[in-house]
């Protein structure tokens, strides 16, 4: 790996960090160390880097804000690629926004509100990047990215930049084309919103923020909802009914405020967190016959 890193330095595609703790880069604040994180300066640098890594068969992972990931406690020996430099934003006319994949989703939703544009209020509490939100089709309050996306500019596995329209993105509940085609990378998004009253939009955001503070354990590191809600049911209720609310493993806990959150309340390891995720899943399956789908992605657990 040292030789690979030296070659990447010669490529000069962007800032590089070596031997860093993944606790700094995931919202669970857990995980081992990363051998190397690279921040490509632009799309060409990203394409050059990914071509280099694929040709040499070096494992890599595109990393946003780490808000839906659980890295293992082992060191990650591949290359992590963060797209925070792809963060340009442009308002087009009175309804559309062109924004880079590395832009903060919360920041975007608040900026849209200030501009009097409605449609992104649901995103004001989702701590990810725009690219991550497209990948997951992030959503809340009966809305998601699929409702506001016109098109997505992506980098293909063979290094081409193409634009996929909304229908081609195959947005469904917490899923998208990108999940089914992991070699594609979101670069930029064109959003369409609607004009609204700034004060009314900001009031909706404030009201929902207050509701989250009351109902979710935002005082602890977590990755948000652990499980997708099954049809006509709620994951949190199923976990609570199974008697698991407040259960602890090491420094991790099934939140006693909202059972569909697992929180790092005291220096939890990734193993602590994953144990509770698996245990909650298996107990609900055993008691109620419901196979809850896990929202988080497990990385480096092989």
Q: Annotated catalytic sites, by residue?
A: 174, 225, 295
Q: Which long-range contacts (CB under 8 A, 24 or more apart) does 277-281 make?
A: 277/70, 277/226, 279/244, 279/247, 279/249, 280/226, 280/227, 280/239, 280/242, 280/244, 280/254, 281/227
- In which residue are the tokens 């200030």 written? 114
Contacting residues for 235 by C-beta, under 8 A, at least 6 apart: 225, 226, 227, 228, 229, 259, 260, 284, 292
Which string of b and e fits 110-133 if b means at least 16 CB within 10 Å?
bbbbeebbbbbbbbbbbbbbbbbb
Please name which of 171, 140, 180 lies closest in space to residue 260, comparing C-alpha atoms. Answer: 140
**What stretch of H or E contains 61?**
strand 60-63
155 to each of 69, 122, 182, how far by Cα in Å? 22, 27, 11
* CA gap 271, 278 in Å, rounded: 10
Q: 156 with 183: CB under 8 angstroms?
A: yes
Q: 96 with 115: CB under 8 angstroms?
A: no
């Amino acid at each position: 790996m040292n030789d690979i890193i030296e070659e990447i330095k010669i490529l000069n595609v962007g800032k590089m960090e070596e031997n860093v703790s993944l606790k700094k880069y995931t919202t669970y604040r857990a995980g081992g160390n990363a051998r190397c994180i690279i921040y490509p300066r632009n799309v060409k640098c990203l394409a050059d880097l990914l071509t280099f890594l694929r040709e040499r068969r070096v494992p890599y992972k595109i990393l946003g804000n780490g808000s839906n990931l659980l890295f293992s406690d082992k060191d990650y020996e591949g290359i992590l690629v963060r797209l925070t430099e792809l963060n340009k934003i442009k308002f087009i006319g009175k309804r559309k926004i062109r924004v880079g994949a590395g832009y903060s989703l919360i920041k975007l939703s608040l900026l849209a509100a200030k501009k009097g544009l409605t449609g992104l209020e649901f995103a004001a509490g989702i701590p990810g990047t725009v690219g991550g939100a497209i990948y997951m089709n992030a959503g809340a309050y009966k809305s998601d990215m699929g409702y506001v996306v016109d098109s997505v500019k992506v980098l293909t596995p063979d290094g081409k930049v193409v634009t996929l329209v909304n229908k081609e993105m195959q947005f469904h509940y917490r899923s998208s084309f990108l999940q089914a085609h992991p070699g594609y990378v979101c670069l930029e998004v064109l959003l369409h919103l609607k004009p609204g009253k700034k004060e009314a939009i900001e009031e909706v955001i404030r009201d929902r923020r207050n509701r989250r503070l009351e109902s979710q354990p935002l005082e602890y590191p977590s990755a948000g909802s652990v499980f997708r809600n099954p049809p006509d049911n709620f994951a949190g209720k199923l976990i609570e009914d199974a008697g698991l609310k407040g259960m602890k493993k090491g420094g991790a806990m099934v939140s006693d405020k909202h059972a569909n959150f697992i929180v790092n309340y005291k220096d939890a390891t990734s193993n602590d967190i994953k144990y509770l995720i698996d245990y909650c899943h298996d107990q609900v399956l055993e008691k109620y016959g419901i196979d809850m789908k896990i929202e988080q992605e497990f990385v480096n657990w092989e």
